[in-house]
Amino acid sequence: MTRTARAFWLSVPGAGEIRPVTLPEPRADQVLVRTRYSGVSRGTETLVFAGRVPPSQYAAMRAPFQDGDFPAPVKYGYLSVGEVEQGPEHLRGRTVFCLYPHQSAYVVPADAVTVVPDQVPAARAVLAGTVETAVNALWDAPPLVGDRVSVIGAGMVGCAVAALLARFPGVRVELVDTDPARAEIAAALGVDFAAPEAASGGRDLVVHASASAAGLQRGLDLLAPEGTVLELSWYGDRQVQLSLGAAFHSGRLTIRSSQVGRVAPARRDRRDYADRLALALDLLADPVFDALITGRSPFAELPDVLSRLSAGDLPALCHLITYDGE
């Protein structure tokens, strides 16, 4: 029996389209997933959409089930939630998360999907990849009890980090962003908010996720002596210029990168990728994460949605893509 589905492809940088695809018959160790929702990871996916992945990062930036190659044509994405229609008995009928591009149905190995806990709504589960990034970040640079922490950049990743930090005993969290409207998101997450020029100083830890040189510089400026900036931003092909004079050396400040492609060294010998993703899904039982989903559109409109997100015409944290009727 021949099955078909529809997939989003970036045909050329700056323009995408929906294409038909033929699905293979699942083997005994595979699952057929019918997609219910996918999420647009705004920062990374708009850089991909604009063709701004530097050639040196083509291999590192490949999504697990990506088809094609950068800059285009390429089928990209990694926040997909669906229902298993065919596969091993213990998975049939279950809602699962998969690091799969935007596609209405797909066949993958059974071990490539993670069951969504019953207490996590399917729409919220698209945030699993983002929360997994936040978990890895806080394994890389965990705060101590009572620390003063700033998160610069109230996008998907920054907000996910802030939401987790709010759970740490005695940790005072300030979310920093140039958009005053993000104060409402901060309030929903249970953390303080400040514009960059009014942000609190003397911070023990700054998590930077604004993908801007100005944000990174501000993070350094806010640190207490011997503090750390944890850099989560990915800049694509952009150059970043910093001022590393003044207090950078005398204050013994640290800039440390964190990236979800590898499990943080602090947990690498005891946790694998599956453990980390399962933890992220468990954490999503908290309805506070609904604040990160700020819009939704049907799958047929995804080419226009990505164009508008890339141009800045559609403000969003996580934009939800729905597959009703696909």
Tokens of 142: 């965990």
> Count of H helices and E strands in the chain?
8, 17
pLDDT at position 49: 96
Neighbours of 265 (CB within 10 A): 9
| pLDDT value of position 250 | 92
DSSP annotation string for 154-215: -SHHHHHHHHHHTTSTT-EEEEE-S-TTHHHHHHHHT-EEE-GGG----EEEEEE-S-SHHH
pLDDT for position 270: 95
Rounded distance, CA 314 to CA 326, Å? 24
Residues of each domain in the chain carrying CATH 3.90.180.10: 3-130+271-322
- Helix-helix angle 42-49:302-311, to 10 degrees: 100
β-partners of residue 160 are none
The confidence score (pLDDT) of residue 312 equals 87
* Residue recorded with tokens 């806080």: 138
Q: Where in the chain is the domain with CATH 3.40.50.720?
A: 142-257
Amino acid at 214: A
For residue 145, give every residue at least 6 positions away whose Cβ sits within 8 Å of its Cβ, in sequence order, or none.
168, 169, 170, 171
Q: Using an 8 Å Cβ cutoff, are 288 and 264 in contact? A: no
Helix (H) / strand (E) element for 106: namely: strand 105-109
Helix (H, G, I), strand (E, B) or coil at 280: helix
Q: What is the pTM of this model?
A: 0.92
Q: What are phi and psi of 192, to 5 degrees?
A: -75, 165
How far the first Cα of the chain sits from its last, in Å, is 18
CATH topology of domain 142-257: Rossmann fold (3.40.50)
**Run means of pLDDT, 10 residues per run, the chain, 326 residues:** 90 97 96 98 88 91 95 97 97 97 98 97 97 97 96 96 97 97 96 98 97 96 97 87 88 94 93 95 98 96 96 90 87
Spatial separation of the C-alpha atoms in residues 254 and 262, rounded to whole Å = 21
pLDDT (0 to 100) of residue 136: 97
Nearest to 78 by CA among 66, 68, 94, 90: 66
Neighbours of 118 (CB within 10 A): 9
Question: Residue 267: which residues within 8 A CB-CB, separation 6 or more?
Answer: 139, 276
Q: What per-residue confidence (pLDDT) applies to 1?
A: 60
CATH architecture of structural domain 3-130+271-322: Alpha-Beta Complex (3.90)
DSSP class of residue 49 equals H
